[in-house]
């Protein structure tokens, strides 16, 4: 049986607006109550205004009142598992802390690690 968090990320990946790169990504974030929020990447012709799937999922969860998160899944159709970009790592750190990150592809390959492994010595409000 497939992990519901990964299944949600796979499903939302199909909604990605990736007309320029064709690189569709789906993300799902689980809050402390078990509720899952999803996001997909949304590209823009300027690329600079593109928003990644992970940030869409976090912002959607925040806008719906979620505040504490336990896991994040990121799915792309790549042989090598795709981790969050630097901007997404920063947002994930600020809103989720050292959360569990599940990377997966469409072939079913997965890897689970803590965000701190991907983002050592992260900057957050504690430095302000």
- The catalytic site residues sit at 54
Interhelix angle 53-63/86-96, rounded to 10 degrees, is: 30
Question: For residue 14, which of 22, 6, 30, 26 has the smallest C-alpha distance?
Answer: 26
Please check whether residue 73 is in contact with residue 8, taking contact to mean a CB–CB distance below 8 angstroms: yes
H-type alpha helices, the chain: 4-13, 53-63, 86-96, 115-118
Q: What is the DSSP letter of 101?
A: E
**Could you tell me the CA-to-CA distances from 100 to 20, 23, 58, 111 in Å, in that order?**
30, 24, 14, 10
């Amino acid at each position: 049986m497939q992990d519901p968090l990964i299944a949600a990320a796979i499903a939302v990946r199909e909604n990605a607006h990736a007309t320029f790169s064709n690189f569709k990504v789906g993300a799902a974030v689980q809050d402390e109550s078990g509720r899952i929020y999803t996001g997909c990447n949304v590209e823009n012709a300027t690329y600079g205004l593109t928003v990644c799937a992970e940030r869409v999922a976090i912002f959607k969860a925040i806008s719906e009142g979620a505040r504490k998160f336990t896991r994040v899944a990121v799915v792309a159709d790549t042989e090598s598992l795709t981790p969050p970009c630097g901007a997404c790592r920063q947002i994930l750190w600020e809103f989720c802390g050292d959360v569990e990150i599940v990377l997966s592809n469409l072939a079913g390959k997965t890897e689970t690690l803590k965000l701190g492994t991907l983002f050592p010595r992260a900057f957050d409000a504690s430095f302000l």
